[in-house]
Amino acid sequence: MKYLRVLTSACVAAGSLAALLVSMPSQAGVQWKWRDASGVMQYTDRPPPAGTPDSQILSRPLGARAPKVVDAAASDAPAAPASAKAASTPGKAVDPELEARRRKAEDKKAAEQKAEEEKQAKARADNCERARNYERTLQDGLRISRTNAKGEREILDDKGRAEEMQRTQEAIQGNCR
């Protein structure tokens, strides 16, 4: 008896869940249905192009408005390019999706440019710190050696130290702003 009660409640729960899922609209499905200019039925998740008469739109998602109708002179012209010039001209219909894509691309480009500038600023700061440390080492009078083209170790004399000091000063001027 207990088994039958558990089985019944499980079936009721499964049935309720199935009814709920069937009654919910699918978000992944086609939302727009319209006939294009040549009479072909179109099924998409995006609204029809601007200028499509409202009578040709057969189905749209809940709360969606009809796309803006453009006058005949504007519909003969090619699609507006995604540029600031097209967006700034008053009186012409602008596709909000196209505008959103343009803004997103501009934001992405600005973010990439900012990241590149930050990367360069960090590199300059690191180079500045290294140059200042090397300048201090040169000024302290410690013996400094380096490897020449033959792979031999050589110690800087006063002339070499002066040349290194000059190069270090140039590096500081270029990187420490």
Q: Which residues, in sequence order, are CB contacts of 25 under 8 Å at separation 6+?
A: 62
pLDDT at position 131 is 93
pLDDT at position 75 is 46
Considering only residues 152 and 86, tell me which one the structure prediction assigns the higher pLDDT: 152
Give the pLDDT band (50/70/90) at residue 173.
Answer: very high
Give the pLDDT band (50/70/90) at residue 127.
Answer: very high
Residue 74, pLDDT above cutoff 50: no
Q: What single letter denotes the amino acid at residue 82?
A: A
pLDDT at position 88 is 52
Q: What is the pLDDT of residues 18-31, one digit of tens each?
A: 655 555 555 555 58
Q: What's the mean pLDDT when you consider all of the chain?
A: 77
In what order do the strands lie in the sheet containing 32-35? Answer: 41-44, 32-35, 57-59
pLDDT at position 128 is 93
What is the arithmetic mean of pLDDT over 87-108?
79
Residue 76, pLDDT above cutoff 60: no
Considering only residues 37 and 25, tell me which one the structure prediction assigns the higher pLDDT: 37
Give the pLDDT band (50/70/90) at residue 109.
Answer: very high
Could you please report the per-residue DSSP string of the chain?
A: -HHHHHHHHHHHHHHHHHHHHHHSPPSSS--EEEE-TTS-EEEESSPPPTT--GGGEEE--TTPPPPPPPPHHHHHSPPPPSSHHHHH-TTS---HHHHHHHHHHHHHHHHHHHHHHHHHHHHHHHHHHHHHHHHHHHHHT---EEE-TTS-EEE--HHHHHHHHHHHHHHHHHH--
pLDDT at position 80 is 46
